[in-house]
Structure 1
Amino acid sequence: MLTLGPERWGGGVIFDPAGYALTVSYVLLDAEIIQVALRDGRRVPATLIGLDLEPGLGVIKLEGEGPWPAAPLGDSSGVAVGDTTATVGVDADNDLVVAQGSVREVRSFAGYWEYMIDRAFIVAPYNPAFGGSPLVNVRGEVIGITSLRLGDRPVVNLAIPIEYFTATKDELISRGRVMSRRPRPWIGVYVFPGDHGVVVGGVSPVGPARQAGFRRGDTIVRINGEQVGSPEEFYRRLWQTPFGEEITLVVLRESRLHVLKVRSADRYRFFRTTGKPPE
C-alpha cells in the first residue's frame, strides 16, 4: 500500500448477477487482497477489475458461482434537489446502516487530491457507513455511490452520480480503466485554498511534484503564466495542458517566488489499479 494504509474497509453494491460490484476507488487503490463480507455472513474473495480515478469509482468481481443478487442501476441525470433518497451501507461489524433522506444540493466538487467532478450529490442526513455505499432512489435503483463526509454540523454525504459509471462501464470492466479518455495530467500534489493561490498541503511520495522539488507549505500562484486563485482553477489549467509536457509553476515559499518545472504523468503508472499485470 503506497498511500492509504495497509488495511481499509468500505461498502459496495453488486450490480451484475455475474458478481461485479461497484465501490469507491480509494477503498481499492493499491489493493493486493480483497475480501467481501456478505449480508448472510459469508466472506468471499474478490478480484480487482479496474478503477476510474477521475470520478473515483472502482469495480471488483466476487469469486465463486453465481448468479449473485444484483441491484438495478438507475438514471441519475435527472436527479434534482429535494429528491427522496436512501444511503445503504454497512459498518465495521457488517451491520446494515440505512439513512433515509434527500438530495440537498447538486453541484460541482473539488477535492484536495487533484480531483474534481462537475456534478455531485450532497445528501442528508449523514450516513456514517458512507465509503462506497449505494445511494438509491424511491424505486430502489442505484443513482450514486457515496464517497465522502462533508462539513461539521450538520454533517452531510457526497455521492458520485451513477452516470459517471454507466457511461464507461463496459470499457472499465473489459480493460481495467477508461482507455478511450486521454490521460488526465497528474503531478501528485494535495492542494487547499489559500490567500494568494493554492497551498500545497502535501506531496505524493511517488509523484512528479516531489521530484520537481515541491514542498508542503508552498503556495502555487501561477501555472504556465496564468494566475491561480482556487483549487478548481488550478485543476482546470493543469488538465488543459498537453499530457506529458513540462509545466512551469511559480510558487511562493518563505516570502520568495520560485519557479519549478514538472512533467505531468499518468497516475495509473504509479498505483495498483487493476488485477491485470501492468503494461
Structure 2
Amino acid sequence: MPNQTKKSHLILAVSAAAALAVGSILAGIRPQGWGLWTATANAAMGGHPTAPIDPSLVSSAESLSEAFQAVHHSIKNAVVNINIIKTLQGPMQNGIGPLNLPPGLQKMLPPGAFPLIPPQGQSAPAEKIYGTGSGLIISPKGYIVTNNHVVAGAQSIKVTLANGRVYKATVIGTDPKTDLAVVKINAPDLTYASFGNSHDMKVGDWVLAFGSPFGFKHTMTQGIISAKGRKNLDIIGAHNPQLQGLTYQDYIQTDAAINPGNSGGPLVNMKGHVIGINCAIATNTGSFNGIGFAIPSKEVKYIAGQLIKHGKVVRGYLGVSIADVRHEQIHKVAETFGYKGHHGVLVEQVDPSTPAARAGLRRGDIIIAFDGKKIRSMNQLRDDVAMTHPGKKVTLGLFRNGKKLSLTFAVGTQPATLAQVEMGGENIPGQMAHSDSLGIAVTAVTHNLARSYHMAAPHGVLIKTVNPNGVAASVGIRPGDVILSVQGHRVNSPAEFVKALHQVNLTKGIRLSLRSPNGVERFVFVQKSH
C-alpha cells in the first residue's frame, strides 16, 4: 500500500512538471510556423473541425453532472479526513503492517486500515504506523462518526476539515460489533450532515461516496446501489475472532469507487442525504475492484446516538442460535416440524442459563412474532432484540408441534464476546461407520472431545471425513461437525447412527441436528436425488 501511494504521488508530480514545461513554451516562446494554426490557413488546407454536439443530446448528461455538483456542494464541508498514529505489537513487513495478518485479510481489506508513508524527510519507527481514514460530522457540537477500525488503538487522532483546519480528536465511544465509532473535536461553525432512510433506497439508485482514498482528501466518486442486505461476509469476525457470532451485518453494496482511506466516509443519495458509512471492499489487490460495502444509515444513527449518550452500545439478548426460514434448506427443515409458513426464524440452539432458556424456548421452535410484530427475517429479529433495552419484558410468538403459542419474559444483556472453542479429541479404534448415501464417515465422541465442544457428556457422532462430491457436502456438512440426531432421534454411537439412517427415507429428505466445533448447533435438511 505505501508503495502504491508513493507511486501515485510520483505520477502526479511528473504530470505537474510536464504541464509547467509546456506552459513555459506557450507563454514565453512563439514557435516558427505558429501562423499555420489560423482559421484562414486551415480553410486553405481543406480541413474541417470536429463536428459540434447537438446540445439536446447531452442535456440529460449535463443535468446529471449538475446534480452531482449540487450534492458535492451540499455535503463536502461535513466530510473530514482522519489521520492516526498506531503502535503495533509486532514487526513490519515492507512497511505494510504486521506479519500475523488475519485469514482472508487480503480478500476483504477494510479501507483505511493501512499505514501511510510517513511525512517526507521523516522515518517511522518500526513499531508505529501512520493511518488515514474518513469521517462525517453529525452534530454542531463536533461529533464525528467513523469506522472503529480507523481509530481503534490510536495514540493520536487528528481531523482535517474541508477548509484545511486541523483539530485533535478524542474518542467518545466505539462499537466493534458494527465497526462504528464516534470521535469529537472542539471547533466552531461546523457543517453537519443530514441522514436519509437507507431502507427506502433501491438497487439501481445513484449514490456518491466521499472520503480520502489513499490519502487524497475530499474525493467524490459515483456509482449505484448494486445490492442491499449483504451479510455473512465476516468482515469484522475475520479480524476479531472473539466477535464471531455477535457482529451485525446488513451491508449496502455499491460500485462507487471505495479505496483504502475511504473508511468512515459517507455514502450519499442524490438528495444530499447520508444513507450509509463506507466500511469495506471485496478485493484481490487491496484496492477497489468494483465491490464496496457501506453500513446502512438506520444502523449508523442508532449506534452513533448510543455512543454519544452512553459511550457504548448496550444490546438486548435472548441466547439462541437461529436460521432464516426463507432459506430453502431451512424451510425444508421447518416443514419437518409441521410448519408451512414462509417467514420466521428457526431456533437451532438455546444456550443454557440465558433468558430464552429460562423462558422455556426450545430447539425446533419457530419464532413468528416479536412483541406483536411479525418476524419476516433473521436480521429483523436480531435487530429488534438488540434494540430492546435489557430488562424489558417482551412476548415471542411461536410455532411448536403444530400449534401457535406465546412466551413472555425479560430480555437480557448481550455479552461482549463469544468464547472461541478449539476442536480436540482422539479416535477410538474400531468405532468408525461409513454412510455411502450421505458421503461421510463418523466415529464416537470421546470425553475430551465433548469437553472441547462444551458438552456436559459425550453424545452424538463425530464426522471424520466428508466426500466433497457427496450429499452431505452439498448442504455444508464438514469434518468436525457432530451429528446429534437423525430426524429427531438422538444417536450416541456409530452403530446407533447407522440404525437411525436405516429407519428413514433419504430420497424424501431427513433432518439432521449438528453441533459445530465452536459449540453452535444447527439443523440441516439432507435429501438424496432419485
- TM-score, scaled relative to structure 1: 0.63
Change in 2 beyond 3 A, CA 1:20/1:247: closer
- Work out whether 1:121 is the aligned partner of 2:293: no
Structure 1 segment 128-147 matched on structure 2, within 5 A: 128=259, 129-147=261-279
Q: State the Cα deviation string for residues 59-111 of structure 1 (Å, max 9, x = none).
A: 111123x2311111111122221111010112354432211101101123232
- SS of residue matched to 2:200: coil
- Aligned match for 1:70, one of 192, 216, 219: 192
- CA-CA distance at 1:118 after TM superposition: 4.0
**What one-letter code is carried by the residue in structure 2 that aligns with 1:33?**
S
Match for residue 37 of structure 1 among 156, 160, 165: 160
- Which 5+ residue runs of structure 2 have no aligned equivalent? 1-86, 90-112, 114-127, 320-350, 352-362, 364-377, 387-411, 429-447, 455-530
Q: Which of 38, 46, 53 does residue 169 from structure 2 map onto?
A: 46
Larger deviation, residues 87-96 vs 247-256:
247-256
* 8 A Cα contact 1:11 1:90, kept in partner: yes
Structure 1 residues 81 and 33, CA gap change in structure 2 (3 angstroms)? same
Query: Which string of whole-angstrom CA distances, capped at 9 and with x for unpartnered residues, describes residues 171-223 of structure 1?
Result: 210211113x14899xxxxxxxxxxxxxxxxxxxxxxxxxxxxxxxxxxxxxx
- Contact in 2 for aligned 1:246/1:261 (Cα 8 Å): no
Give the 3-state SS of the residue equivalent to 2:131 in structure 1: coil
Work out the CA distance in 1 between the residues paired with 2:420 and 2:189. 53
Deviation at 1:246, TM superposition (A): 9.3
Question: Would the alpha carbon gap of residues 103 and 46 (structure 1) be closer, same or farther in structure 2, given more than 3 Å must change?
Answer: same
Q: 1:38 to 1:184 in 2, by over 3 A?
A: farther
Instruction: Give distance in 2, aligned partners of 1:184 and 1:173.
Output: 26
Aligned mates of 2:166, 2:416 — CA distance in 1: 42
Partner of 1:251: 423
Structure 1 spans left out of the alignment, 5+ residues:
186-223, 227-231, 263-279
- Which structure's residues are more often strand, by fraction? 1
Query: Which of these residues, 285, 293, 297, is aligned with residue 162 of structure 1?
Result: 297
TM-score, normalised relative to structure 2: 0.35
Tell me if the contact between 2:147 and 2:263 (Cα under 8 Å) persists in the aligned partners.
yes
Q: Does residue 171 of structure 1 match 2:306?
A: yes
In the alignment, the residues of structure 2 paired with residue 158 and residue 248 of structure 1 have an alpha-carbon distance, to the nearest angstrom, of 27
Deviation at 1:168, TM superposition (A): 3.9
Q: 2-side partners of 1:246 and 1:120: how far apart?
A: 22
Note if contact 1:88-1:99 (Cα within 8 Å) is conserved in structure 2: yes
Give 1:22's aligned residue.
145
**Distance between the aligned counterparts of 1:58 and 1:118, measured in 2?**
16
Amino acid at match of 1:45: K
Amino acid at match of 2:423: V
Of stretches 167-176 and 67-76 in structure 1, the one that deviates more from structure 2 is 167-176
Shift of 1:52: 1.9
Distance 1:130 1:251 in 2: 38
Tell me the CA shift for residue 166 of structure 1: 1.5
Say which SS state the counterpart of residue 60 (structure 1) adopts.
strand
Task: State the 1:117 CA deviation.
Answer: 2.9
Partner of 1:208: none
- Tell which structure's C-alpha radius of gyration is larger: 2
Residue identity (%)? 25
Q: Deviations over 1:217-246 (max 9, x none)?
A: xxxxxxx8x9xxxxx9xxx9xx99984899
User: Which amino acid is 2:137 matched to?
Assistant: I
Aligned equivalent of 1:80: 202
Higher share in helix:
2
Distance 1:245 1:27, change over 3 A: closer
Instruction: Evaluate the alpha carbon distance shift between residue 91 and residue 241 of structure 1 in structure 2; reply closer, same or farther with a 3 A threshold.
Output: closer
- Asked if residue 11 in structure 1 is aligned to residue 134 in structure 2, the reply is yes
**CA–CA separation in structure 2 for the residues paired with 1:126 and 1:176:** 32
Q: Output the amino acid matched with 1:142.
A: V
Task: Considering Cα pairs closer than 8 Å and 6+ residues apart, tell me whether 1 or 2 has the greater RCO.
Answer: 1
Residue 25 of structure 1 contacts residue 58 of structure 1 at CA under 8 Å; is this kept in 2?
Answer: yes
Aligned residues: 214
Q: Is the 8 A contact 1:88 1:135 kept in 2?
A: yes
User: Are residue 109 (structure 1) and residue 231 (structure 2) matched?
Assistant: yes
Q: Which range moves more in the overlay, 104-113 or 239-248?
A: 239-248
Quick one: structure 1 residues 172 and 118, their matched pair in 2 at CA, closer, same or farther if it must change by over 3 Å?
same
- Going from structure 1 to structure 2, the CA distance change for 1:85 and 1:34 (only over 3 Å counts) comes to same
Note the C-alpha offset of 1:165. 2.0
- Whichever residue aligns with residue 310 of structure 2, its letter is R
CA spacing shift, 1:170–1:117, aligned 2, 3 Å: closer
- For the Cα contact (< 8 Å) 1:87–1:133, is it kept in 2? yes
